[in-house]
Amino acid sequence: MITVYGIKNCDTVKKATKWLDSQNITYSFFDFKKQSLTTELLNEFVSKSSWDVLLNKRSTTFRNLPDDIKDNLTDEVIFQAVLSQPTLLKRPLLDHQKGFHVGFKEPLYQELFLS
């Protein structure tokens, strides 16, 4: 089973889902705006990647965080911030039998699904 995590209005998520659709690849979509990010799911993401990869420091959401959070980015602080504001995660997150990937790069998707 392939799951894409993100938000519908994210341009990169749109590119990823459009590519998957164009290749007739079936996937489920988890929309952070409509579905709650649980502690268990976030723990799963962190176990498959790292905060350096997962945390979107260029996002408006990150820039709008209070300085005391941005200046104290421990694992626990980041975890709680992302739980309350999932748009702090880079998007899309792609989870499938061949691994866990962050972002969308067409050559990677081609390698994963067409080779």
The CATH code of the domain that includes 35 is 3.40.30.10
Residues annotated catalytic, as ranges: 10
- The range of the structural domain enclosing residue 69 comes to 3-114
The residues, ordered by sequence, that sit 6+ positions from 19 with a Cβ below 8 Å of its Cβ are 104, 106, 109
51 pLDDT higher than 90: yes
Distance CA 115, CA 113 (A): 6
How does residue 115 score in pLDDT terms, banded at 50, 70 and 90?
Answer: confident
Q: What is the pLDDT of residue 12?
A: 97
Task: Say how many domains are in the chain.
Answer: 1
How does residue 108 score in pLDDT terms, banded at 50, 70 and 90?
Answer: very high
Q: What is the pLDDT of residue 56?
A: 95
Q: What is the pLDDT of residue 98?
A: 85
91 secondary structure, DSSP code: S
Q: Mean pLDDT throughout 32-61?
A: 96
Q: In this predicted model, what pLDDT tens digit does every residue of 9-44 receive, in sequence order?
A: 999 999 999 999 999 999 999 999 999 999 999 999
pTM comes to: 0.93
* SS3 state of residue 69: helix
Task: Tell me which residue of 38, 42, 26, 47 sits closest to 96, measured CA to CA.
Answer: 26
